[in-house]
Amino acid sequence: MHKTVALVGPPNAGKTTLFNRLTGLRQKVANYPGVTVEHHSGRLTSQRGVEVDLIDLPGIYSLEPRSEDECVTRDVLRGDMEGIPRPDAVVLVLDATNLSRHLVVAAPVLGLGLPTLVVLNMADDLAGRGGELNTAELSQRLGVPVVLASASKGE
């Protein structure tokens, strides 16, 4: 079995750090046809033996694009990018220390109807600032699984 999973989220949320952690830096850089925006892709095998192509998409603030980066991300997520299959699932990476601003991206991404996991990255920074989040409550409100993580520390 083979799946394609897209890493999506605002710039500086830690998508690429998580990507590198998951793929062990086994990545390749490629350009989408006709544009100069780069993405990274890598392959990993899940604990259940599923081969996963992981795509680290450019950061977005919205699916209503205001930049070439946001156009590429939107098109890949909708399956409108020639030569790139529509992802089977999404990992939405949000900065746990900046959640009020980053949650704006959640609704349009969840609205795509793809299976989604929300990763609240930088949980170590949040804890260091004395903050905490109720992931179970947020998961219930969003209707998708939510986890805390620290991609830089591998937690």
- Spatial CB neighbours of 57, under 8 Å, sequence gap ≥ 6: 6, 7, 8, 15, 39, 72, 73, 76, 77
Number of CB atoms found within 10 A of residue 68's CB: 13
SS3 72: helix
pLDDT at residue number 1: 73
Look at the pTM and tell me if it is higher than 0.85. Answer: yes
- Distance between CA atoms of 35 and 55, rounded to whole angstroms? 17
Closest Cα partner for 44 from 25, 57, 31? 25
pLDDT at residue number 84: 85
pLDDT at residue number 23: 84
pLDDT at residue number 130: 87
pLDDT in 10s for each residue of the chain, 155 residues: 789 999 999 988 988 889 888 888 544 444 444 444 556 788 888 888 889 899 999 888 888 888 888 888 999 999 998 888 899 999 999 999 998 888 999 999 999 999 999 999 998 888 889 888 899 999 999 999 999 999 888 88
Residue 89 phi/psi, 5-degree rounding, is -160, 165
pLDDT at residue number 96: 92
Question: Which residue bears the tokens 């390749």?
Answer: 28
Is residue 101 within a helix (H) or strand (E), and if so which, with residue range? helix 99-102
pLDDT at residue number 30: 43
